[in-house]
Structure 1
């Protein structure tokens, strides 16, 4: 194992086995990122935390960042030292240590990766974990569940799991945004059903995407076109794609279906977890698509400033 910072070490599973017989390095806390937990005999010797995670690009490690970083801080503050490890100490555990360096030392991803690699040359997070570190950096090194980038990441992860056949019963309803409640939407920008005025979702539930290449991006056009296109940075305004909301709870974990108003049952749009192509040409997955003509935008009222004329005694 290699020392990365004061009372923080990065290593492999074999380092844990060595520590169980000799604690010369002064380790009191062990953070394990593996597909299985450590033997009970080792857990009885140290303060341990286990995160079940596989070293594959589609794995969601980002959701565990906050718990892992808290464990590291606790071990460094209240213990003698922390060992963060996975099987070989180059991808899963390295990702967590890099995230800790980014937050604690206020380093960019590139600088944190270079520094950790300097101490442990075998470090190489897989491409999926590297992307999650980039996302962590964009969120100012805080995992923010309300951040639109994080929402899209979580939904994409769930989409991939559903494509791989994971049972919907294993998913948490935490991914569903709270439904706006009539009478309690003061000060919020709300989208309502055009037919019955039922509040449906907040503007914060909108998931934006950059515009694609228009009709040329659709498969039958793309095959006949030899013209290369540069990716647009313009945000699409043609369609409304949103995160799933609580009123969809009864249907949301099907592979696809219609979206109807929870009050008047008029059709609002559709959803499909594997994704669909927006009219702008961009591929959106998962796609919870609300038809623009079925909803109205309701913005909060702004109270006009009244001009007050002082009372004169003259």
Structure 2
């Protein structure tokens, strides 16, 4: 195992050691190494890996596989808290996975990012200086970049994070044919205070507020599939929350799942979209996707017809 910063180590499973898989002498040697480094806390980031010395160290276990489509960013806040609390109390922390290259490196990089306000690249560079063999998978690297874009605050009220979760659910549906629970956009019609100045979409029949600017997902006209994505980079490398400029020729608006849409929380694959107040039919949604009038195939598709709503600017 390697010390990344004062009191914070990254290692493989051999650093913690599952004593049931090794001889007693080997297990004793590894425990002595932990004691020599004055380790007090162990953060395990691996699947089906029970603590080897539960009475000797304070453990936290995150069960996650080293796969690009795994949602590791959701665990960054609690991992950061565990590490921070341990170090603040004068403890020393080992973060380990199986090889000590991907999961553990991503978690420690996220901690450094949050503590020192670093970019993903900067944090990974610091970890790699002390442990050259680290190599987080591409999905984890993208989530570290998202973590920076979120200003190190992983909450569902952030549109970028909701879009990431929707994309994650879309990939799950594509692979397994079922829909995971999704973080839906807040219902603007239920907000107690006035909505901020922004684009607002209302039901044409009853004027009920349906979606705001942050819920609308713009796209370019054309033929082909647009994968749901939390973020894209423009030609000059600048991050843009909406990757696809709005084409006013499209007869529909595509939005994120909303709290007021029937069946979204229940995990329905497809359903009609109706106004929650007057029940006027507004469109439909399908996790399998649908084609816009411009020819673009959108996956998943939460489609509201423009002729059923009014788009206004709040003042």
Scaled by the length of structure 2, the TM-score of the pair is 0.79
Q: 1:310 maps to what in 2?
A: none
Q: 1:116 maps to what in 2?
A: 127
Q: Which sits farther off after the overlay, 279-288 or 92-101? A: 279-288
Q: Distance in 1 between matches of 2:206 and 2:124?
A: 54
Q: How many angstroms does 1:283 deviate by?
A: 5.0
Q: For 1:263, which of 271, 277, 288 is the aligned residue?
A: 277
Unmatched 5+ stretches in structure 2: 18-26, 226-234, 237-241
**In structure 2, do the counterparts of structure 1 residues 277 and 48 end up closer, same or farther at CA, with 3 Å as the change threshold?**
farther
1:225-236 to structure 2, matched below 5 A, reads 235-236=245-246
Look up the SS of the partner of 2:80 in the other structure.
helix
Q: For 2:157, which of 146, 166, 175 is the aligned residue?
A: 146
Q: For 1:101, which of 85, 107, 112 is the aligned residue?
A: 112
Q: Distance in 1 between matches of 2:109 and 2:84?
A: 14
1:239-250 to structure 2, matched below 5 A, reads 239-250=252-263
Q: For 1:205, which of 203, 206, 215 is the aligned residue?
A: 215
Q: Distance in 2 between matches of 1:98 and 1:281?
A: 42
Scaled by the length of structure 1, the TM-score of the pair is 0.79
**In structure 2, do the counterparts of structure 1 residues 242 and 120 end up closer, same or farther at CA, with 3 Å as the change threshold?**
same
State the structure with more CA Rg. 1
Q: For 1:90, which of 101, 105, 108 is the aligned residue?
A: 101
Q: Distance in 2 between matches of 1:235 and 1:37?
A: 46
1:78 and 2:89 correspond: yes
Q: For 2:188, which of 180, 196, 207 is the aligned residue?
A: 180
Q: How many angstroms does 1:55 deviate by?
A: 0.7
Unmatched 5+ stretches in structure 1: 220-229, 302-314
Q: Is the 8 A contact 2:288 2:301 kept in 1?
A: yes
1:31 and 2:43 correspond: yes
Q: 1:312 maps to what in 2?
A: none
Q: Distance in 2 between matches of 1:182 and 1:143?
A: 23
Query: Which 4+ residue blocks in structure 1 deviate beyond 6 angstroms?
Result: 230-233
Q: Distance in 1 between matches of 2:79 and 2:6?
A: 17
Q: Is the 8 A contact 1:7 1:81 kept in 2?
A: yes
Q: Distance in 2 between matches of 1:145 and 1:96?
A: 20
Q: 2:22 maps to what in 1?
A: none
Q: Is the 8 A contact 2:201 2:312 kept in 1?
A: yes
Q: How many angstroms does 1:234 deviate by?
A: 5.6
**In structure 2, do the counterparts of structure 1 residues 180 and 148 end up closer, same or farther at CA, with 3 Å as the change threshold?**
closer
Root mean square deviation, CA, Å: 2.8
Q: 2:286 maps to what in 1?
A: 272
Q: Distance in 1 between matches of 2:175 and 2:129?
A: 37
Q: Distance in 2 between matches of 1:233 and 1:300?
A: 23
1:60-79 to structure 2, matched below 5 A, reads 60-79=71-90
Q: How many angstroms does 1:297 deviate by?
A: 3.1
